[in-house]
Structure formats: structure tokens, C-alpha cells
Amino acid sequence: MGLALLLPESTFIPETKTFLFAIGIIGIWRYSMGVVHFIRGMIFLYIVFPLYQRKIKKMGAQTNPSHIYLMVTSFRIDASTTAMVYQSIIREAITCGLPTTIVASIVEMSDELLMKSLWETMAPPEHIKLTFVRIPGTGKRDGLAYGFRAISRDMPDDSAVVAVIDGDTVLDEGVVLKTVPYFKLFPNLGGLTTNEFCEVRGSYFMSEWHKLRFAQRHINMCSMALSKRVLTLTGRMSVFRASVVSQPEFIADVESDSLKHWRLGEFKFLTGDDKSSWFSLMRLGYDTFYVPNASVNTVEHPPDPRFIRASRQLMFRWYGNNLRQNSRATKLGPQRLGWFTYYVLFDQRISMWTSLLGISVAVIAATKYHIGFLIAYLLWVGITRMALTLLLLASGHNVGPAYPLMLYYNQIFGAIMKIYVFFRLDRQSWTRQPTQLKRNLASFQQWFNRWSSRSMTFSALSLFGAILITLV
């Protein structure tokens, strides 16, 4: 209301609507995409998914797999978190009542001793086994590949499943039995992922930022699950067919995935194993799914105590993983991906620019004509972000008072980070460990990559600004 009172009366006169309509063309397109995702998500969550649950209930014990593998990868996570994770995994192995093997892919001896201590304390029955896979501390991809090979040596049959669990993920009760039946319900299902909630060991804003991300993730996952084309199999907890993770092609995709870029050359993927596993399933012809009522709790440790720096590091990793997979994923074509999924992937390349359109035009117009344009834009942002926050209530996640501000922060700062990463796809690093990609390039190639990335970023931003200034 304060912003509305600051605006001149002419702002609300219909004859002055041309400028607002120019923004509205792009806005209608962008908001319509969000509305489509929301409607699809609600259809899946409240209509389609309950139908699947009733079918599973009728099938009864037929949906049980022959064997369950619970594989956990852990590296440099504090002892209290690790203990909660291991305890929840052993508890799920006991309560599911099915033949289960826990595969602990670990680096440090302390994790092995902790697991053995909990194993003796909880005393699981004989149909539950424990296997350790010791790996060098060279990254999560190696940990997953070593674990998958250990499972493949067990020669699992077609009905066995593998749950891949991160070392900071605490399983909710019953999550295993809620996920495994869908592999019998959908014969072509290769992998699925679960709903996530979080406990953040950081500031209030960092906590709210993570919770907002998981609420948005839930609705988007439900939307994509309607087409059985979930776009990522989150490493926190995803479940696969054992026959899939035993395939050499799948293991190679996870362990040594790489991209051949026209300017930056060929480089391996250091992070983004969840995107690699998704792309491998798509390439091999499998479907992907999301189970909204199966949830896990993650313990988030921000990489930096300062919110801006921590969010920047996390966005750099997340958006880099996303953009590295995007270009080659679209090459699979709409026949394999489906038209909606194909469009969503294509839209990811455009959204980094359209997200900056509103604020850029408002600032240019305020500078050239009147400050009222910027105030009107801020008023629009406040109203729309409040409405989007209220829509997130349908996700079942808690909604906080900082969400409208966080939504806009993600839009603007996230778009800037995407543009920055888009021209530097070869730059990768973990946030928990100091592992970085080393390519051993010649000095000229390093110089060329660095300065060509800077030149292309500057050129793209200059062209974007020139077009907007001309239009305004």
C-alpha cells in the first residue's frame, strides 16, 4: 500500500498502459508456465497419485521386490549427523521386513566403526546383511560407482531395487515400503526420487531459503511426474532398479560422465551425479517418477556462514549441473522426452534472460523517464510474490514470512548466476570438500578459456542491455 501511494495518479489511468503491456507480454508467458506447472502438480498430487496408491494396495504383496539394497555414501560429515543417518537406514531395513543388504560406501575408518557399533546395538535379523566398500576420497561419483559394482557382483534379479542415500539424509519411517512398489506398478520405471524436508545448520535466512527451495521442488516434481519424466534423481535419496545400476553403461555414466564443448573442449563432470543418472536412464529408454508421500530429512550444512556467499556457492554448483546436462538432454528429442519435458528443458535456457527483463526495463525507464516506473514494478513484485508464496501452501511444506523476498532473490540473483555459469561450464567444485576439476590444460588453452568466457559474457550482457534500451 505504501508503494501504491507513492505512485502518481497517471500510473492507474488506462491510457498509459502501453509500457505495462510491453512487460506484460513476457510476464504472461512466464507466469503461464508457472501456472501450468502448478496445475499439473495439483492434478498429480490430489488425483493421479491417489489412484496409483489404490492400485498398489489392491496388488498387495505382489509389489514387494525380491531384494532391497540400501546404499549410503558418506564423506566428511559430522559424527552426530552420520549416526542419525546410519540409524535410520538400519531401522528401515528392519521394519520393511524384506531381504535387505546395506552397502556402506565410505572413505574414513571412523564411519565404518560407527556403523558397526550401531549394527551391534540395533541387532538386525539374519535376513539383513551389511557390506562395506572402502574408496579413496576422490568424490561422490567414485563412491557411487564402487557401490554399484559391489551390488552387481551380487547378481541381483530383475525385481531387486537399490536405494541410493546421501550421507546427510535421515530416512523417515516407512519410506522404503512407500517407494519400492512402483517398480512393479510401472514395468518401464528405471528410477524414482522422494520428497525432501530439511534441517539447516545456519542462519534464519539460509534456513528459509532451503525450505523454500524444497517447497518449489515438490510442486515441480509432481508436475513432471505426471509425464513420468522427473528431471533429476536427487542424490539425497533415489531408488533404482538393481538391473539398471548393474549395467556397465549406467555405471560409466555416473562415474566418468563428460561433455565435449565447442569452445571449452572436453571435460569430465565433477559434480551432478543425480543429473548423470537421470540422463543415463533417459538415454537407455527408462521412465522416472516421484513419490510425494515418501519423505526424507536432510541435514544442510551451508558452505559459508554468510548468506550471500553460501547461496552463491550452492547456486554455482546446482545451476552448473543443470546447464551441463541441458544441451545434450534436448538432443534426445521430443519423441523420447515428450513434448512438455522437451519444452521445459528448452525453457531453462531462456529463463535466465527473461527473469532479468522486468527489473532491467524498470531501472532503464526510471532513469530515463520517471522513478514511478520502478516503484510500479516493485509494487507488482510484492503482490505477485505474495500470491506465489500462498500457492506454495498447497505443497504441504511450511511457508515463512521471508518467502516473498526469497522468491525474488532467487529470480534475480539466480538468473545472474545462471548467465555466469552458462559461459563457464568447465568450472566445477564441491561445497563440502576442496575437490576441484583439474584438466592439466596447456597455458594457452587456459588463457583462451578464461578470456573467451569473459568476452562472451560481456558481449551477451551488452546485447541484452542494448536491445532493452532501444525498446524502452
For residue 2, the one-letter residue type is G
Summarised one tens digit per residue, pLDDT across range 109-119 is: 899 999 999 99
Count other C-beta atoms under 10 Å from residue 344's C-beta: 20
Closest CA to 96 of 205, 175, 168, 184: 175
pLDDT in tens, 213-240: 999 999 999 999 999 999 999 878 999 9
**H/E element holding 80?**
helix 79-96
Q: Which DSSP string do the residues of 155-172 spell out, in sequence order?
A: ---TT-EEEEEETTEEEP
Mean pLDDT of the chain: 90
Q: What is the pLDDT of residues 390-447, one digit of tens each?
A: 999 988 888 999 999 999 999 999 999 999 999 999 888 766 555 556 667 778 888 9
Count of alpha carbons within 13 Å of 111, Cβ hemisphere only? 24
Read off the pLDDT of residues 173-218 as tens digits, 9 standing for 90 and up.
999 999 999 999 999 999 999 999 999 988 999 999 999 999 999 9
* CATH 3.90.550.10 location in the chain: 36-331
Give yes or no for a contact between 285 and 154, defined as CB atoms under 8 angstroms apart. Answer: no
- What pLDDT, in 10s, does the model give residues 120-135? 999 999 999 999 998 8
CA 231 to chain centre: 8
pLDDT greater than 80 at residue 267: yes
C-alpha–C-alpha distance, residues 368 and 358, integer Å: 15
CA distance 77 to 182: 31
Q: What angle do CA 122, 124, 128 make, to 5 degrees?
A: 145
SS3 for 201? Answer: coil
Architecture, CATH, for domain 36-331 = Alpha-Beta Complex (3.90)
- pTM of full prediction above 0.75: yes
Identity of residue 433: Q
Under the banding of pLDDT at 50, 70 and 90, the label for residue 289 is very high
Phi, psi of 293 (to 5 degrees): -95, 0
Spatial separation of the C-alpha atoms in residues 279 and 269, rounded to whole Å = 13
Q: What is the pLDDT of residue 13?
A: 67
